[in-house]
């Protein structure tokens, strides 16, 4: 999807006119009958009016101003989603700002672009939307257009990764995707192979990988611009379980494995965020870590009751091999200490408990030593509509992960599953830490401009947070 600036209007252009009720529209080739129709329709508080002139379409947007700026931004994106449905059989459209509101124009364009995404890679008869280009009027700021284009590209990239089936995306393929993105956008990437992972004694990642015929990877991404504003880096860590059977604790319910390709959603989000940050040259030192493997049962698979030793020397009693994401993340969290980070954020499709708590509408979060940073992250989430639902992180929950035979166990019990998973991760940190359980990374049903399937949730949120960080 391309977003471009256009300085002229042709008679064949499909037009999207952002207006208010006082706007003069007679200069756009509309007949008196059409103008009367628009006027009468908007009087009924309808915010989108469509005119079919056969050789072109004209859409008039008259969005009612919401008192809350974030709600209004989301309204504009959702109007973009409505427009995308109407534009799917057209190749392009031009947004004209009669209302003199460039912010709204960008938000509408964002909604159209995000809604227009399709994943047709594996279809023999590909039927993607015909819409390829959204043009913005000459008043639009080119820097803002470029920024939005880079963000959209990053979200598309992340959606592609998450939608990709396991047959086409092993751990090595996820690492390769990070390398290709880095080569194009200018951040550094190092991929640690199994031998190096073994030398680092990453017992969590190695244990989860034991049942697989494919080697694990540990991808390190780094963006360090010369004009960086932070002396200590911000570290982003993404769970990269490219497919999860549950291991020997095999997922028991019907249709519980058909979507387990999405269990690398955290890693995909981190790679996408790194791409957006580098593409737009944000002046912050950012490091991304993506431990990756699949979790499969075999004669060599790790088993319930095992005790494993993690990267930092902590011993863990494994009560359930389907609580594997926290094991690979724990190694990455302790590895992150070497960077002396200002803040670490991990992102993971970690628990069914998070999904049960808030559905696919947001992100379950918790933090330790990061009150201010979490507040800023929540503000970024409110703006992007990738909202955070903060869970309590009381010390009482620490008792639930204590083990009788090891330092800690990887399962907390039947209650507060998302929180005890977060507590397990916090054990491996000694820095300000935020945990994000990505329940919104995938939707089985169409959800506005996020669409059906991979949503790319988290990329825009992280970008906005980093952009506004200091």
In Å, how far are 5, 24, 177 from 19, measured between CA atoms? Answer: 19, 8, 42
- Given the structure tokens 């970690």, which residue do they identify? 350
Strands 15-18 vs 92-97: parallel, antiparallel or unpaired:
parallel
Phi/psi at 188 (nearest 5 deg)?
-90, 145
Q: How many Cβ atoms sit within 10 Å of the Cβ of residue 48?
A: 16
- DSSP per-residue string spanning 190-241: EEE-HHHHHHTT-HHHHHHHTT-SS--EEEEEEE--TT---SS-EEEEE-EE
E-state strands within 239-284:
240-244
Q: What is the dihedral sign for C-alpha 382, 364, 246, 321?
A: positive
Active-site entry in 77, 194, 296, 326: 326
Q: C-alpha angle 353/357/360, rounded to 5°?
A: 95
Is 6 among the residues known to form the active site? Answer: no
Euclidean distance between CA atoms 12 and 26, whole angstroms: 17
Q: Which of 94, 62, 96 is nearest to 76 (CA)?
A: 62
Active-site entry in 251, 337, 376, 467: 251
Say if residues 309 and 331 touch (Cβ distance below 8 Å).
no
Is 450 among the residues known to form the active site? Answer: no
Strands 388-390 vs 363-368: parallel, antiparallel or unpaired:
parallel
- Given the structure tokens 């103008």, which residue do they identify? 35
DSSP three-state, residue 184? helix
Runs of H (alpha helix) within 61-129: 69-87, 102-115
* Residues known to be catalytic: 251, 326
């Amino acid at each position: 999807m391309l977003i471009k600036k256009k300085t002229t209007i042709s008679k064949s252009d499909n037009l999207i006119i952002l207006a208010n009720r006082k706007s003069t529209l007679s200069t756009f080739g509309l007949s008196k009958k059409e103008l009367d129709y628009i006027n009468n329709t908007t009087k009924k508080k309808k915010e989108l009016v469509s005119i079919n002139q056969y050789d072109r379409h004209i859409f008039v947007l008259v969005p009612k101003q919401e008192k809350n700026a974030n709600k209004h931004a989301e309204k504009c994106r959702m109007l973009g989603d409505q427009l995308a449905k109407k534009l799917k059989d057209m190749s392009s459209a031009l947004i004209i700002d009669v209302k003199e509101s460039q912010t709204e124009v960008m938000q509408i364009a964002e909604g159209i672009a995000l809604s227009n995404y399709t994943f047709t890679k594996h279809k023999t008869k590909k039927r993607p939307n015909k819409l390829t280009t959204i043009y913005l009027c000459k008043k639009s700021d080119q820097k803002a257009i470029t920024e939005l284009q880079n963000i959209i590209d990053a979200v598309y990239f992340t959606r592609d990764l998450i939608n990709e089936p396991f047959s086409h995306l092993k751990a090595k393929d996820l690492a390769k995707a990070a390398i290709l993105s880095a080569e194009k956008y200018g951040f550094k990437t190092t991929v640690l192979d199994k031998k190096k992972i073994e030398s680092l004694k990453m017992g969590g990642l190695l244990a989860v990988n034991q049942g697989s015929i494919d080697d694990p990877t540990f991808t390190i991404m780094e963006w360090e611009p010369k004009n960086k504003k932070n002396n200590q880096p911000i570290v982003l860590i993404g769970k990269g379980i490219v497919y999860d059977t549950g291991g020997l604790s095999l997922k028991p319910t019907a249709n519980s494995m058909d979507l387990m390709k999405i269990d690398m959603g955290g890693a995909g989000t981190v790679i996408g965020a790194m791409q957006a940050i580098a593409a737009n040259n944000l002046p912050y030192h950012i490091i991304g870590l993506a431990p990756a493997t699949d979790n499969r049962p075999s004669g060599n698979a790790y088993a319930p009751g095992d005790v494993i030793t993690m990267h930092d020397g902590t011993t863990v009693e494994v009560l359930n091999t389907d609580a594997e994401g926290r094991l690979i993340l724990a190694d990455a969290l302790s590895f992150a200490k070497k960077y002396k980070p200002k803040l670490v954020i991990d992102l993971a499709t970690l628990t069914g408990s998070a999904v049960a708590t808030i559905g696919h509408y947001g992100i379950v979060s918790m933090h330790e030593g990061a009150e201010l940073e979490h507040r800023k992250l929540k503000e970024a989430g409110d703006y992007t509509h990738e909202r955070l639902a903060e869970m309590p992180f009381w010390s009482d929950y620490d008792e639930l992960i204590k083990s009788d035979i090891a330092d800690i166990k990887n399962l907390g019990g039947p209650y507060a599953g998302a929180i005890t998973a977060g507590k397990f991760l916090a054990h491996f940190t000694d820095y300000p830490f935020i945990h994000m359980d990505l329940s919104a990374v995938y939707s089985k049903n169409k959800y506005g401009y996020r669409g059906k399937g991979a949503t790319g949730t988290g990329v825009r949120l992280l970008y906005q947070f980093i952009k506004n960080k200091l």
